[in-house]
Structure 1
Amino acid sequence: MEVRPLAGAVGAEVLGLDLAAGIDDFEFAAVRNALHSHGMICIRDQAAMTPEDQLAFAARWGRISIHPYVPSIEGYPGIMRIYDPNPITQTWHSDSTHMREPHAYTLLLARTLPEVGGDTMFASTVKAFESLSSGFRSVLRTLSAVHEGTDRAAAAGLDHESVVAVHPVVITHPSTGAEALFVNGNYVTRIEGWTPEESRPLLEYLYTVVGRPENTYRHRWHQGDLVIWDNRCTQHAVVGDANQAERVLHRVTVAGGVPA
């Protein structure tokens, strides 16, 4: 097993593993440490993994989370078929932050890829927070933000209160102790206690900081890439430039705790 950083802020590739054949606890601990060190990892050459393999590997990270309104692929509860870039996926975001306990990890396996396009951008919200002045960081630590589910949740008939959560603007990663920004353009509607109009300038500035090139990495997919990211310290956004060419990835998410 070899770990190679892919960018200065976030991302590393992991070589030399065959997850379909299985890895031992020592190797898994090394993979987990690599993810916590780099925020996002790509384990190369995993095209041989079956849906059963992906679910079994994801279960080693924690409890698999089944999406409340986007269906799983038939026969495999917990695996979502990702195929069409849309305004939601093309916005910098962390997965499902409107939940009281957002996802800790996401595992995305490349099944069918276009010849060009369809890359995914990743950003370190730890690096973004560290880039701010000490005074600004102190202010942000006192704030919380309201996260609300998208229109897709309402269209699926979910009660509004079930897809609303309030989380700190700055959270501490439970394993690494690193502080990270925890606001994103998909789900945050306002700062708690502020109006949306009052909140907008601050939030838009923070989103701009997250997306600065020095805080990001652009991942060009290869067949069999298994990309894993930590939703507590990264954000991601798909690049919608595949020109409607077929792009299919299988996603599994792992439940997390209450951000603090």
Structure 2
Amino acid sequence: MVGKIIKKVYTFLVYAFLYAPIVVLIIFSFNNSKSRAHWDGFTFKWYGELLKDRQILRALYYTLAVAALSSIVATVIGTISAIGIYKMKGFSKKAILNINYLPILNPDIVTGVALMSLFIFIKFQLGFITMLLAHITFNIPYVILSVLPKLKQMPKNITEAAMDLGATPTYTLRKVILPQIKQGIISGFLIAFTLSIDDFVISFFTTGSGVSNLSITIYSMARRGINPKINALSTLMFLVVLILLIIINIRDKRERDIKNEKF
């Protein structure tokens, strides 16, 4: 009995430690005062100011554009790569998997400096394209690691069975393999999209003048003091992510229910 109470208290403290700062941030995004020391009344004005801030809106545009494009490209490349790796055997497969782990284990600052040095070496002007290429580069390994487990869960010899029945390789890929690994592809895309929006270090080293994502913009604003508009922006980003997670969970639950009904 005492052990259960201790576990519940410990769990509560962990979640409180994780989410209390977010709750405080959300509350003070509605504070009429710029000061976080006292409450001066409820207001939506900081959200209105946020929508009028051209710097933040421009950063939001670049953030969403880079995140969407890099996630789509990384998902396509990562899915194709995962299928290829899955078909490999022996030492070559282990070598490729170990190489795939390197960008994930590598510190972001090393990856950022390395990509910046590469772009400068090949005389590629830093800007939107270089940031996009950098995000595609660090997103691909995560997509591969999301898709590979779903490939391993496929029934053995299912592709050979489909081709024995007359299906072409392209048709087998579209109608047999992709439906089986769809959840892994979606998960990989969402991970890539989230990492792209969240990234600061690699973006900081691979962007050029006039191109800034939200992480860089918030960092620049925070150096001059916490602006309530940052609280409003962070609140909106948190709510968007929360809504996406709820939608995904509802969708997954419906699919599981449909599968259970079939069996």
Higher helix fraction: Structure 1 or Structure 2?
2
TM-score relative to the length of structure 2: 0.23
Greater RCO (CA < 8 Å, at least 6 residues apart): 1
Radius of gyration: which is bigger? 2
